[in-house]
Amino acid sequence: MISKRLGPWTLSLLGVICTGACGNYSNEDLDFQLALPDQSEIEAKMQVSVNRSDSAEYYKATRSAVTTFNAMVFDLTGFIEGVRGNTPTSRNGDQRTWGPFADDKHLGWEIRVVMQRSTVSQSLLHMDYWVQLRQVGQDDSAWVSLLVGQFTSQGSARMGTGEIHFNVQDARVVGYPADTDPGLVNLDHLLVRYSNADYPITVHMEIVNLPTAATQAGVYDYAQQQDGSGSMQFDWQGTTDTGAPITATMKSEWLGSGAGRADLTADLTPNLPNQSTTLGTDCWGVDTVATYSHRLSPVTPDVGSAATCLF
């Protein structure tokens, strides 16, 4: 729909860091460890194990979006997971550095991870971190940040707000062969903002592809409630009943059981200019089969009753 997962590059980076720095954190490094987001803290929680041919169409679309979203969260957290639990190469006051280490997938390049701690107040701790690249033999001015992240704690070291930028195009500009990973070929940059300080836990993800890509951009907004229910709003690429291409927005909501609802809306559709309209609605039960289905097209009759919808 929007992008492929980032692919094996992250596994390469993880291996590089572990090869050079595996070990145990000391107590003075604990703040750095806790500031890094864990996959389980920002991934979308939805029952996606059910995969039936007769599942509701919009359930299938939501399931696909959640799977793609979580794959990107997995890969992004994979970049910094190599730091978690491993001894820094060097310590300098409130700064920690891992590396540089040789990039075993790209001859002539090396990688380092830098983290900087700052105290905002007695209850707030801020952390900035960078995954950086340079060609072997260059000086420190040549480092280019592939990934830039930050985190500010609120109440506890693991709870707070964070932001991650994945800047693939910046690496291309200095000659880094990012496109050898098929998952990065179309990607210009990726942004993730998250808050896990309180419920609802929220994650905002923006994908910007290169001008040559078939799909230029995509946006996901995910929210998780304490009772296990959740929602996701995301871009949808499709066609109208006349065959014209269209970019619409799908808003999906679900309970912890997996039962849910999704509505597809679009602005500036060719046949309804200058207004927003609902193109369709699907509601489904725990078995993911539609209990109610509505489409804007007059040739597609409604199925089921809207009274069965949980939202």
Domain of 139, in residue numbers: 9-38+55-224
Cβ–Cβ < 8 Å for 236, 264 = yes
**21 has a pLDDT exceeding 70:** no
Residue 241 lies in a domain: no
pLDDT band at residue 200, thresholds of 50, 70 and 90?
Answer: very high
Determine the average pLDDT of the residues in 56-62.
96
**161 has a pLDDT exceeding 60:** yes
Question: Residue 13: its pLDDT value, please?
Answer: 46
pLDDT band at residue 11, thresholds of 50, 70 and 90?
Answer: very low
> Alpha-carbon distance 125 to 119, whole Å?
5
Residue 262 lies in a domain: no
Residue 31 lies in a domain: yes
Residue 84 lies in a domain: yes
Question: Which ranges of 199-298 would DSSP assign to H, the alpha helix?
Answer: none
Cα dihedral 20→24→25→27 (10° resolution): -150
Question: Residue 240: its pLDDT value, please?
Answer: 62
> Alpha-carbon distance 168 to 188, whole Å?
6
Least reliable range by pLDDT among 32-46, 157-171, 196-210: 32-46
Give how many domains the chain has, as a whole number.
1
Residue 20 lies in a domain: yes
Cβ–Cβ < 8 Å for 133, 113 = no
Residue 301 lies in a domain: no
Cβ–Cβ < 8 Å for 295, 57 = no
> Alpha-carbon distance 89 to 20, whole Å?
8
Q: What is the pLDDT of residues 82-122, one digit of tens each?
A: 676 678 999 999 999 999 989 888 899 999 999 999 977 77
**272 has a pLDDT exceeding 70:** no
Residue 258 lies in a domain: no
Q: What is the pLDDT of residues 120-154, one digit of tens each?
A: 777 788 999 999 999 999 999 999 999 999 999 88
Residue 257 lies in a domain: no
Strand partners, 193: 163, 204
**Six token digits for residue 45:** 């929680």
pTM (2 d.p.): 0.85
> Alpha-carbon distance 110 to 101, whole Å?
5
Question: Residue 19: its pLDDT value, please?
Answer: 44
Using the CB atoms, write b or e for 20-48: b if 16+ within 10 Å. bbeeebeeebebbbbbbbeeebbbbbbbb
pLDDT band at residue 238, thresholds of 50, 70 and 90?
Answer: low
Q: List, in order, residues 6 or more apart from 58 with CB less than 8 Å away.
A: 250, 252, 262, 264, 280, 281, 282, 284
